[in-house]
Amino acid sequence: MHSHFVPGQSTQRNTMASTSSPVPGANLSEFTIENHSAVVELRRLLHQHPEVGLELPNTARIIEGELDRFGIRHGRCTDNGIVGLIEGSEPGPVVMLRADMDALPVTEATGHEYVSKSPGSMHACGHDTHMAMQVGAIARLAQEGIPRGTLKLVFQPGEEGHHGAEKMIAAGVLDNPNVDVAYGQHIWSGEPLGKILVESGPVMA
């Protein structure tokens, strides 16, 4: 188990638009429309191959492939936790974005064409969506860059009762560089599409 963030390499997977030709200031709505189908495709791929707990080797490989595609320096923190970095041209705050990775030990009976292919495991709490959304944000951030500070992009295993956050913190996820503020995300079916709710302090923790 790694004790600190160590940049690494992984296989690539072609999904979202290439970032080889950055377009600073490009319209966000146009970017979202252009990449919507790729985010949905990634979410469905992750949904079909759920993994439970702390051992998520296939999920980790998929995420690392996306980070490789966008040229994001990354490494492991714990066996299957992933940390990527986007650094600005000037010093500034270190902001952490975190998405959970693990599924639940339940059998899916939805009948969707992208139904889980792993009997007894299902992304029933939205973590497939959280990962895909964060990768979509990374695609934009990698294209635009950030003017100052550092973005620490964290993908955390073991959120569903396996103490994944505690293990990553103990392994140094908040260090090198030290995190100033952290944001998690969670989908919620009770709110309309396109609405974002933000609250100071712990939420759903």
Interval 3-52: pLDDT, tens? 333 333 333 333 455 444 444 445 777 888 888 999 999 999 999 999 99
CB 182 within 8 A of CB 153: no
The answer to whether residue 10 sits within a structural domain is no
Q: In a 10 Å sphere around its CB, with 0-12 CB exposed, 13-18 middle and 19+ buried, how is residue 43 labelled?
A: buried
| pLDDT tens, residue by residue, 103-117 | 999 999 999 999 999
For the chain, where are the alpha helices, taking DSSP H only? Answer: 28-48, 57-69, 127-144, 164-170
Q: Which domain holds residue 157?
A: 30-183
The answer to whether residue 65 sits within a structural domain is yes
The answer to whether residue 13 sits within a structural domain is no
Higher pLDDT, 161 or 194: 161
The answer to whether residue 104 sits within a structural domain is yes
Higher pLDDT, 3 or 126: 126
The answer to whether residue 17 sits within a structural domain is no
CB 135 within 8 A of CB 149: no
Strand partners, 98: 154
| Predicted local confidence at residue 147, as pLDDT | 92
CB 131 within 8 A of CB 110: no
The answer to whether residue 195 sits within a structural domain is no
The answer to whether residue 1 sits within a structural domain is no
Element holding 94 (H helix, E strand): strand 90-100
Return the axis-axis angle of helices 57-69 and 28-48, rounded to nearest 10°.
160
Q: Which long-range contacts link 112-116 to residues 24+ away (Cβ below 8 Å)?
A: 114/44, 114/45, 114/47, 114/48, 115/47, 115/48, 116/47, 116/48, 116/49, 116/50
CB 175 within 8 A of CB 150: no
The total of other beta-carbon atoms located within 10 Å of residue 15's CB is 21
| Predicted local confidence at residue 66, as pLDDT | 97
The answer to whether residue 175 sits within a structural domain is yes
* CATH code for the domain in which residue 106 is found: 3.40.630.10
The total number of structural domains in the chain stands at: 1
42 three-state secondary structure: helix
First to last CA, the chain: 25
Give this prediction's pTM. Answer: 0.85
Amino acid letter, 196: I
